[in-house]
Amino acid sequence: MLRRVVAQRYVTPLREGGSLPAIMEASDDGQYVVKFRGAGHGTRSLVAELAVGELARRLELTVPELVLVEIDAGMGRADPDPEIHELVTASIGTNVGLDYLPGSVTFDPVQDAQPDAATAARIVWLDSLMVNIDRSSRNPNLLTWHGNLWLIDHGAALYVHSNWKRPEESARQRFEMIADHVLLARAGSIVDADAQLAPLVTRELLEDVFALVPDDLLDEDVLGRTPADVRAGYVTWLLDRLDARDEWVGEAETACAALGAGA
Ligand SMILES: Nc1ncnc2c1ncn2[C@@H]1O[C@H](COP(=O)(O)OP(=O)(O)OP(=O)(O)O)[C@@H](O)[C@H]1O
Ligand SMILES: [Mg+2]
């Protein structure tokens, strides 16, 4: 189960974020980076945030704690900034929060301590599976904090859900943008990462992960299916993608070798 907290105060916007995230204080006195259901990308990007983050954690990658953030009616009503007022008012209900890591800094691939080659390869593998375009050197979406690398911002992954068009086909598609991955140059063998991780990503694990996604984040389905059907759709799509992994693992390995990394 994910913890559920109630938003108490809008602290500050994170202006650099395209999805208008903000730091909010919640009922447990914690501060969270909140991804708003009313932010324009809709609840599907919140589903990706939860599912990719939670799968990463289960594969022993480091992710800030994910929580569900309840925004009650009335919240934001008093905010003098009309943009914030509108966003918060449009986000009444369940939203997604990541534990705020105070003092963390964006990972700098040139200056910062590098992750070990096996960890970098595991992150490249996960992003290829989830079709996460948002891990480039321009926008790494990795934070350095307490000497560790933390994975954040998975809202752009699982793009298939924008329209669920020909899912069997899209599951098998290559992912050329992996060539821009910020960790590719320091990744070890993607084939080895695959041999390690693919057996762990079972139907049961995927069902567990999607069971954490509450119904009210799944009710914007473009095909009008029930939340249970949508969860099953994600699980099937990811199992199909795993089935086709020779394709995308090979592609990542080739991109890695082109940079003189891998193996
Ligand atoms: N858990 C966290 N702790 C501390 N800072 C965070 C955390 N999550 C996000 N941030 C900061 O807020 C910024 C925006 O967050 P995030 O990348 O998740 O939003 P986004 O709108 O999806 O961003 P973009 O589309 O610009 O990549 C991050 O680049 C990072 O600097
Ligand atoms: Mg980001």
* Cβ–Cβ < 8 Å for 124, 181: yes
Instruction: Give the integer Cα–Cα distance in Å for 68 and 34.
Output: 9
Residue whose CB lies within 8 A of the most ligand 1 atoms, among 95, 143, 146, 159, for a mutation test: 143
Ligand 2 centre to CA of 19 (Å) is 8
Sheet hosting strand 148-151, strand order edge to edge: 105-106, 142-145, 148-151
The three-class DSSP label of residue 241 is helix
Is the confidence at residue 132, as pLDDT, over 80?
A: yes
> CA-to-CA distance for 184 and 123, rounded, in angstroms?
9
Exposed e or buried b for every residue in 125-139, given b needs 16+ CB within 10 A?
Answer: bbbbbbbbbbbeeeb
- Best CA proximity match to 188, nearest among 95, 259, 246: 259
Residue to mutate (ligand 1; options 65, 139, 141, 154; most atoms within 8 A of CB): 141
In short, whether 153's Cβ falls inside 6 Å of ligand 1 is: yes
Specify the pLDDT at position 261: 78
Q: What is the pTM of this model?
A: 0.96
Best probe residue, ligand 1, of 11, 12, 14, 136 (max atoms within 8 Å of C-beta): 14
Evaluate if residue 113 carries a pLDDT over 90. no
Rounded Cα gap, residues 182 and 134, in angstroms: 9
Residue nearest to atom 26 of ligand 1 (CA): 17
Q: At what angle do helices 245-258 and 117-129 cross, to 10 degrees?
A: 130
Sign of the Cα torsion 247, 253, 256, 257 reads negative
Nearest Cα to Cα of residue 257 among 189, 205, 198, 161: 189
Confirm or reject: Cβ of 152 under 6 Å from ligand 1: yes
Higher pLDDT, 81 or 103: 103
Across the range 15-30, mean pLDDT stands at: 90
Q: What is the pLDDT of residue 168?
A: 96
Q: Helix, strand or coil for residue 19? A: coil
Give the chain's mean pLDDT. 95
Q: Residue with the nearest Cα to atom 10 of ligand 1?
A: 33
